[in-house]
Structure 1
Amino acid sequence: MVAVIEQLKDHLNRAIIGQPDLTHELLVALIANGHVLLEGPPGIAKTTAAKALANAIDSRFQRIQFTPDLLPGDVTGSDIYQQETGEFSFIPGPIMNDIVLADEINRAPAKVQSALLEAMGENQVTVGNHSYALSPLFFVIATQNPIEQEGTYPLPEAQLDRFMLKINLGYPSAASELEVLRLVRQQDLHKASTPSTSQPLCKPSDILELQQKALSLYMSESVEQYIVQLVMATRKPELYLGDAGKGTNLIEFGASPRGTLALDRCARANALLNGRDFVTPDDVRQIALPVLRHRIITTFEAQAAGLSVDDLLKRLISHVPAL
């Protein structure tokens, strides 16, 4: 299993230049058996990252390009009347695959975004009177552009909460961008003369084994308590910030119990990726931002003070002691 992890890390870091946090957190989400939302401006390798991960696994991959005219049935599949038999038959949609890229998910209206709710929460889709089980590996990688750009629809809170991680991406450094420029040029030069020979690095069964391995890692009661206290701090920040809070109401809604479960799973996956068979408070702290940032709604006072969700979470993490 160590070899599989190292191969995946190496493959992703070669495919995605200058984004080590992205590659690490993608693997955390995969091993934690959750779904991931990538947010950032166009052209910074969000779709490339999803394709690179899918290519590394011998699995069924499907990309769904979300657009304003997309219908829920275009995602889940639908019952189609067969004239030859006089009966309806289910035609599977693109969601019935192992790894699904929901590209630019915020380009589609809420009713289409909600078509993913049951699939992401219960690993099944219901069409008509029948429910259809999804793959045990089922993994959604959704991408979106920032909501302040034109032609986008903010995801509902219920939909956001289904994502285990939300990864915010920025522009690469000048050195990384120069490396990308040279790499893409070389790929384009050799594309016509050298056919692609890339082979998957692992099988779905390897990923499922990693998921079970992560769940079996040792976690002490003190680390469990630390996870719970971090989530509690998002609901009652004034109890933890002390003078730093100034008595101001900063968070309107904190993380849900689903956030607690996600933090537990991701801390375990993080420990496994870091080569340990036990979980430490550092594993929790390292992954807390992408796990919690999309589960918190700040108040007007916090926004007026120029405090982002990440700013508040960093304050809370620094004030909640590890037991």
Structure 2
Amino acid sequence: MRIAPPLQIGPLDPDAQDAVRRLAAETADHDGVAPLSEQPLLHLGTDADWLTHVVAHDKHGGTIGYAQVDRGGDVAGAELVVHPDHRRRHTGSMLLRTAERDARLPAVSGAPGQRGKPLRVWAHGDLPPARAFAAARGYDVARELLFLARPLAGAAPSGTAQAPDGFTVRGFRPGEDDDAWVALNARAFADHPEQGRLTADDLRARAAEPWFDAAGFFLVEPAGGGAPVAYLWTKVEPGQPDGARDGEVYAVGVDPAAQGHGLGRALTAVALEHLAAVGCDRAVLYVDGDNTAARATYDRAGFTTAARDVQYAPAPATMS
């Protein structure tokens, strides 16, 4: 029987992708928080110059660790997971060293004049072991992503959420609105390291997921017609137990040219109304810790911080 090498770098075949998904699920059951976010899971089958897959195996060839390095943005973003039964055996250090090496690679193989990018490593849930791991390797917190939640009991009755004067809200039409949404999303999140990079292919990949429901996707247009100026996307994972169903305010984007009209506040109200109507018990969302405007909107809507994810970066003294 052929045994996989301890560390394997390169594209993942379907069996390897399934092994990483099982690793992530088992780790989530143990830690109480998912170790990999949605984007790297969607990219498990992607083979591109700007993306690196790293799989760690035990002596029997089983998958015990995984890292993904995305060099497609201004920084190289990495996500790592090590099975709970195989921690403190240098697997995490080996994955991190590989991510550090790959962060120095160009986004496109052979591209002239390209240098490596700063490395940022996500720690979902900011658990104590992750903090200790980062501190021991000279990493500091560079970014904070807050997980906010609020109960939906007492949410506004259906039909009461309204767009501000001069605007209308309508449903997203898959296949017809794709390009308009991509352009709007790029404008709304021009400074966001992940969201603003989404393409039509990324949109279609999410539309193929079991949770996607076009009825929970809304566009805002000027009342007199024209291109959309804001959007709301909600997400409800299937299979959640009765009485504990979370509905996510997946994304709210407003064109900078349309800010100041209360569209973010109005779309938050639409989201709460919709999620309550489809039977969710709690509304949740993610927001960057330094996004003071969005946090103020969500504070007014009754959200509070339930958890946080952090992105670590090498401290200046550790960078070479």
TM-score between the two structures when normalised by the length of structure 1: 0.30
Q: Greater helix share, 1 or 2?
A: 1
TM-score between the two structures when normalised by the length of structure 2: 0.30
Q: Greater strand share, 1 or 2?
A: 2
